[in-house]
Amino acid sequence: MATPSPPELIGQSATWLESLERVSLSALVERSILVIGERGTGKELIAERLHYLSPRWDKPFVKVNCGALSEDLLDSELFGHEAGAFTGATKRRQGRFEQADGGTLFLDEIATASMQVQEKLLRVVEYGQFQRLGGEDTITCDVRIVAATNVDLPARAADGRFRADLLDRLAFDVITLAPLRARPEDIILLAEYFGQRIARELEGDFPGWSRDALEAMCSHDWPGNVRELRNAAERATFRTMAAQANGAPLGPVTLSRDALDPFNSPWRPAKDLATTPAPAAAPAKAVQAAPAEAAPTAAPQGPVDFNAIVAEFEKKLIATALETCRGHQRKAADHLGLSYHQMRGLLRKYGYGREGAGESAANEA
């Protein structure tokens, strides 16, 4: 019996149907698959479809969001740990690879995995073997990996932020999902589905969409893709049906500006000043006030301590990034164009790596 499509997999555009056909073919070959797409395009649903159309459909389908866990926690989550492997590890714990044995493991946001975790993933993909954190026994597993990302992994591999050999092994086939703005034929189809679905939840009849609402949806860019469309369609339908239940005139669902953008309000808080890179403005003014000092055209006279100058510059960049990102090290790494692994190395190099020091240093920056 064919597996029914979840609502977010509904579509009639040629681009979308081509993607689903690609999924159906790739599902039959038990190799690692990489799914690429913007946020909200349905990468996890595609991974589920790959699993349930594969010969492993009756085995476990296990999901891990690599971006939601720190390096050590992700290591433990994926590979498990032995009792005493770290503080608080009172007993042995199976990792997600063991839980997914015989089935499929979905690794979402794979680009955020550290180099250390990537190295262990490489061994699992290549040999089907790994060791628990703090363990010495080699464990064998039979797991198909489906990984997903919304970034350009080949570019990250080229600049050393992702292992090229792991990328090669994950990309037996690459399924790239088109954003919703490239699937205009599917917008109204999905909006109808989501409107009808929430109407059923409200135990009422869906009033249909007004012409203005349909035009607004078709002209919107949908940066959040299907997820954003679902929220907007359900929000607008709920508000219209609730108003009509309270005596408003009957009629089709309209799509007001605040239904399309729930943050639209005259009382919306001003832009968070903490996220504004104000510290960068000071050097700019200094350059204008004293261009000869800020940007010398000739090499400095006499001996200089090159390493000390570079170190001071790096520390200032790190401090500014941490302040801009409110002490969030992973966001600060992205702000500087570094991997989280590289950022952690610099923090340790300049004394941020002590227990608890990263937090205090971020607050002092």
CB 48 within 8 A of CB 3: no
Identify the band that residue 291 occupies on the pLDDT scale cut at 50, 70 and 90: very low
pLDDT in tens, 93-143: 888 999 999 999 999 999 999 999 999 999 999 999 988 887 778 899 999
Give dist(CA 60, CA 56) in Å, integer: 8
Average pLDDT for 160-164: 94
Identify the band that residue 71 occupies on the pLDDT scale cut at 50, 70 and 90: confident
Q: Which pLDDT does position 4 carry in this prediction? A: 46
CATH code: domain 305-365 is 1.10.10
CATH topology of domain 184-260: Helicase, Ruva Protein; domain 3 (1.10.8)
Identify the band that residue 251 occupies on the pLDDT scale cut at 50, 70 and 90: very high
Q: How far apart are the first and last CA of the chain?
A: 60
**Domain locations in the chain as residue ranges:** 7-178, 184-260, 305-365
pLDDT in tens, 318-329: 888 888 887 888
Q: Which pLDDT does position 90 carry in this prediction? A: 66
Give dist(CA 265, CA 12) in Å, integer: 35
Identify the band that residue 335 occupies on the pLDDT scale cut at 50, 70 and 90: confident
Q: pTM (2 decimals)?
A: 0.69
Q: Which pLDDT does position 39 carry in this prediction? A: 95
Average pLDDT over the chain, rounded to an integer? 83
Give dist(CA 173, CA 286) in Å, integer: 52
Give dist(CA 151, CA 89) in Å, integer: 34
Pick the CATH number of 7-178 from 3.20.190.10, 3.40.50.2000, 3.30.930.10, 3.40.50.300: 3.40.50.300
Give dist(CA 210, CA 252) in Å, integer: 5
Strand ranges (DSSP E) for 150-303? 173-176
CB 129 within 8 A of CB 87: no
pLDDT in tens, 24-33: 999 999 999 9
